[in-house]
Structure 1
Amino acid sequence: MTATDGAAAGKRGPGGDLAVLLVRPLATGGLAAHVDHELRLLRAAGLTVHESTVQIPARPHPATDLRTVRTLRREARAHRPDAVHAHGLRAGALAALALPGRGRLVVTLHNRTLGSRGVRLIGRALLRIIARRADTILCVSPDLLEDARAAGAADVRYAVVPAPEHPAAGEGDPDPVAGALPVSEETPVLPEADPARLDVLVLARLAPQKGLDTVLDAAALLTSGRAGGAVRIRIAGEGPLRAPLESRIRQERLPVELLGHRSDVPALLAAADLVVSAAVWEGQPVALQEALRAGRAIVATDAGGTRWVTGDAAQLVPVGDAAALAAAVQRHRDPRVRHAAEQASRLRAAQLPTEQDLKRQLVDVLAGADRPG
């Protein structure tokens, strides 16, 4: 802890001597990175943070969920936290059931409930449980905020989700939660840039939510007849869809490369002409925040909180519309269009939330220092 952090903790004001129980689901990607980021910032601010030992899967299971509720009650008795912060719909609902009226409860909602009608009904029921019990609900996108208010929550706010800051040169290895993707020793050296080719970068987990089939559909449209010139699309990330994506890329001879996990995201961004996101839904995409900070031109689907992050700096297209995505990429072949977009990205980057904004919000809501009224 730094001298500044120690002084802050000794003030015994908001955040000083505050004990927090942190409850997270079994998750990877942006949600896990955000929770890791929170943990680091709160501990740096002098708070005592206990991580719950519960394992909360994405799907309900009565016996497992009952054990989770019992474990949370035991942990609350053992640690006596001033506040509990649960991440995700199921973690939030189970924490609400485990700790009725016992201290302050803050829940951050990260994802929409997608799927069958039955799945959505369960999601609404869980949200009502959270709305009745939680003191504050933080939402990563406008649609989640509207849902929470409709469920009757009294204190609903936008969650601050900044891209963690990369250390300056000479300060050691990149932070593993900084949006960087670990790279394997087998990662190939990328070929030299071709000035006649449009280099497109996608930073995404290889999962259904990221809309990568739409990226491949757009790649097929862009290369049909080669009327618009060469294009190369590189996708940095790993996930369960690698095999089917590889198969389709090979069979259709698409100009798409799967780079796997990467730790050199800043270098990849610097080498790209254009950053593309075809997500079906997003909260506050960290990858696009990094693209804005790198001053890259952006084309993205108008999904979830994407518009809230990019503002006017990105060209947004409808979700699942490969033709619109291809047309937007094609438009950015013009260097003048890319230059204007890069300037817009730099201006928007200056308006993005920072780590200090996140730390301030967390300390305030966990301490209840800025309760409405």
Structure 2
Amino acid sequence: MKELKIKKIFVKFINNEANIVELEILEKWLTNSNNLKVFNKFILVEYLTKCSVQDYNLEEVKFEIYRKIKANRRQKRIRMLKQISFAASIVLVSVFSYIVFNQNQNQKFTNTPVKETNVIKPGTDKAILTLGNGNQVSLTKDETYKNNYLKSNGKKITYDSKDEKTIQNDVIEFNSLTIPRGGEYAIVFSDGSKVWLNSETKLKYPTKFISGKERNVELLYGEAYFEISPSSKHNGSKFNVITKGQKVSVFGTEFNIKAYNDEAVIATTLVGGKIQIEKGNIRKILVPNQQARINRDLNTISIVSIDVSNEIAWVKGLFSFEEARLDEMMKTLSRWYNMDVIFENSSRKKIEFTGILERTKTIQEIINIIKKTSQKNEIIFKIEDKIIKIK
């Protein structure tokens, strides 16, 4: 069961939007008692995201949540919904206890939520397209652009899907797409392959591929999620992603590469299919739910099994953190919100957080959730222009 799918059903369940099929999935998943702890964490975070985090009326909260549960019971599968409601009620006891605890704790500290002044808004669709002749085009949300071999609708670039067999003798032109901090964008290559680019990322690629020849693109830095058109559709030609320190060979699959300049490790996560990771003379094969980690300074490739949903949540418009350190979280958030972070108290870096947050929230809303769900209630966030100071 994909963890991200379950987490999205959590959100729909608390909003009374889950359909019968989704509730059946949730029911089956909850038969494992170990999953209740996970359910607890993410229901809590989603609840806090949707509700005011300044003042709570516990009875109103109980009424609202149980009203949604009751509404779900009116659907066709009454027996199933009763079981889900029972499981949810166990979790909600913990949620309510947690809220009461935070209410009491907040009376001891001056840790009030960040006010909506000097609002730092989330990122949006934007990029800089560099054409083969060196000219640059600014791509922004809701604004279109078109030339003789590509078009953009303000969210993604789509290249002309001219038959590869007819372009054997054409001169290959390269474009690059640069995503600034606070941006994201997508590309559909001429072979139908798709790539999503996260904030602070640059990708170089040909405007078209030639039938039978390897399809090569270069991730200069940043993070990208790939859905590659199978080699079987392109005369067996492999698709290669080159980054500093590694080469990823693909035959048709979905994977994520994270290779930021300010991070020592290049992480490649396989969602589906099969890929080969190559560094120097070392080659490793990945299967789904595995991640290859390469330290830029070492000629080694380590393979670990992971929850891929946390790695690719950004493509779905979410931040997904699993016991993540605050300094790691803030690095991720700083790219999306185009801000700087200063830890005035270094001990705060080690505070851990687990939860799903929406990338559409303002940074003030995100911070309030972090503060309310952290047991370190004395933590203080101070915003000055585009800088967040953590005390």
Pick the TM interval, shorter chain. Answer: under 0.3
Q: Which structure's residues are more often strand, by fraction?
A: 2
Flag the structure with more relative contact order, 1 or 2, with Cα contacts below 8 A and sequence separation at least 6. 1
TM-score by length of 2: 0.24
* TM-score, structure 1 as length reference: 0.25
Which entry has the higher C-alpha Rg, 1 or 2?
2
Instruction: Point out the structure with the larger helix share.
Output: 1
